[in-house]
Structure 1
Amino acid sequence: MNSSTVLDVAHSEASSTVISASSQQRIAIIGMGAMGRRVVSSLRAGPFNGLAIAGLDPYADAQALKAGLGVDLFANLDDLMAWKPTVVVECAGHAAVEGVVAQCLERGVDAIVASVGALSSDELRTRLHDAQEVGGSELTVVSGAIGGLDALSAARGSGIESVKYIGRKPPRAWSGTPADGEFDLDAIDKPTVIFEGTAAESARQYPKNANVTAAVAIAGIGFEKTHVTMMADPTVNKNVHEVEAKGPFGQLNIRLENNPLPDNPKTSWLAALSIEDAILRRLQHVI
């Protein structure tokens, strides 16, 4: 990723942080689906009394969001900008990164992006970089459903020789993807490779599953050099992510087994938690 983009994966130690006054922060959530609502609920349950939160979603129920979560809902970007957010948090998918986030950055509003897979596009990464230059704003990319990417990013300093990612999901979790047409998912009775190639190729062919591989590629050696294997595996009942990196620094191995978000089984709970963590650290200061 361009140098002006922050790969925001570090975690602050609870003992070394205090909550700062957040009255000047105005948080706008792009997309008020299960993930967006989860993020707002977490913020409302935290120590930030009176935190200003708005949503951008033309399809959500404005009355219900205002009554249940205290969220001002807007149906278009101009109205949201008039509300004067200090940061927008994308929870709406790849199209929102291109259609909304870039415009916010150009207007000087910082952005936190969850749909990392959108950044597999060279053209979009360039556009977002230029938007930051124009607006003097900052883009934060969260780690999503994978962890340990701060170590992978640090390892680049010594030169990384290889990065491999293996993703395993139960066979039916691949329904609605290209694998659904190529394989009889109900008949798979042993771990089966459904895709093998680069992170760039996986993002093009499996865009709905690209967020983790994109985060790994950005933290490590890029989309063309990151090797990706995706498997339909009847021996697992969770989404399993494995990363192996080798270089002069040594060898790095990461394995995560993620539970789904209770309100949306297609989304990893850790993905929502990574967004919440990025917002939390924006509202904190370190002593």
Structure 2
Amino acid sequence: MGRRAGVKSRRVVLIGFGAIASDIAAALLAASEPGYALGVLLRPDSPSRPRVPDSCTALASLDEVEAYAPDLVIEAAGHAAVRDSVPGCLALGLPVLISSIGALHGEALLADLVATARKGGGRLLLASGALGGLDYVRAVRHATQLDLRYESRKPPAAWSAELQRLGHDPATLSQPVTLFSGTAREAAALYPQNLNVAAALALAGPGFEATGVDVVCDPAATGNMHVVTASSEFGTMALTIANRPSPANPKSSWIVAQALLAAVEQHFSPVVML
């Protein structure tokens, strides 16, 4: 049976082409009908350009993104891309799926992105990333007695530089070390490449100041562990997730690309689970 008349490939632009973006690209390019046409936005001098598949369209500017006319833009390039590339896409009226949610800990940046989206008709989409349970957190975010806390627990390989700065040898660490305890806003600012989960939880819940965060390096951890506890007049939740580290980056969870793919599927699906 041939392609149904009038059904066109979904057009998606990826910002960046690191480990997460390459996993997303491979999955989307292999998807069945109607399939996906992919553009990749990178600086002309980006070292990632040679790795972009020939089946993708290389883009170097916002004008080229506009000409490509994507149905969806996916940011997978880090916090700088949220500041530098996402505003222009929102101003074009495009929906933008954000992976680097930790960048939104800055109140001014978040306010500017929201204002740009409203003015241009774009939409800021936030993926759950390495965390689950955000549906419950959204449901209780306005509770009058809400206590929400998140603990990140990762093995020494994820925190080598931080441990060395504190005088610990990552290779011989035998006991857990608490690297941080404070608010989600402080955590996202101190660990921008590692605590997108804390930012996602804060945005789904009562905000950055009202969300507690602990960062623990644990030699007994077998993966990237996330522990969320919530208590309110509506009930309690205790959630533990153990994600395997990305083979390309031990500070990131392998599941992140799959979470973004699930968000893409939801974006285009006629049935959406909220």
TM-score (norm 1): 0.86
**Number of residue pairs the alignment of both structures matches:** 264
DSSP 3-state at the match of 1:209: coil
DSSP 3-state at the match of 2:226: strand
Indicate yes or no: 2:49 matched with 1:65: no
Aligned counterpart, 1:43: 28
Q: Is the 8 A contact 2:184 2:208 kept in 1?
A: yes
Aligned counterpart, 1:9: none
Aligned counterpart, 1:52: 37
Shift of the 155–61 alpha-carbon distance from structure 1 to 2, 3 Å rule, reads closer
Aligned counterpart, 1:222: 207
Amino acid at match of 1:123: A
Structure 1 position 62, deviation (Å): 4.9
Q: Is the 8 A contact 2:17 2:48 kept in 1?
A: no
Match 1:143 to one of 128, 142, 150: 128
Distance 1:63 1:184 in 2: 38
The 5-angstrom pairing of residues 175-194 of structure 1 reads 175-177=160-162, 179-186=163-170, 187-194=172-179
CA RMSD of aligned residues (A): 1.9
Indicate yes or no: 2:62 matched with 1:77: yes
Q: Deviations over 1:157-199 (max 9, x none)?
A: 444521111111112311234x441241424211121111111
Shift of the 263–121 alpha-carbon distance from structure 1 to 2, 3 Å rule, reads same
Distance 1:192 1:89 in 2: 35
Q: Is the 8 A contact 2:157 2:250 kept in 1?
A: no
Shift of the 57–160 alpha-carbon distance from structure 1 to 2, 3 Å rule, reads farther
Structure 1 position 64, deviation (Å): 5.2
Report the more deviating stretch, 277-286 or 243-252. Answer: 277-286
Amino acid at match of 1:125: L
Shift of the 22–143 alpha-carbon distance from structure 1 to 2, 3 Å rule, reads farther
If asked which structure has higher relative contact order (CA below 8 Å, sep 6+), I would say 1
Structure 1 position 260, deviation (Å): 2.1
Amino acid at match of 1:229: D
Indicate yes or no: 2:109 matched with 1:102: no
Shift of the 173–34 alpha-carbon distance from structure 1 to 2, 3 Å rule, reads same
Match 1:91 to one of 52, 59, 76: 76
Structure 1 position 212, deviation (Å): 0.8
TM-score (norm 2): 0.90
The 5-angstrom pairing of residues 1-287 of structure 1 reads 23=8, 25-58=10-43, 59-60=46-47, 62=49, 65-67=52-54, 70-177=55-162, 179-186=163-170, 187-286=172-271
The runs of 5 or more residues in structure 2 that have no matched partner are 1-5
Distance 2:142 2:23 in 1: 36
Aligned counterpart, 2:3: none
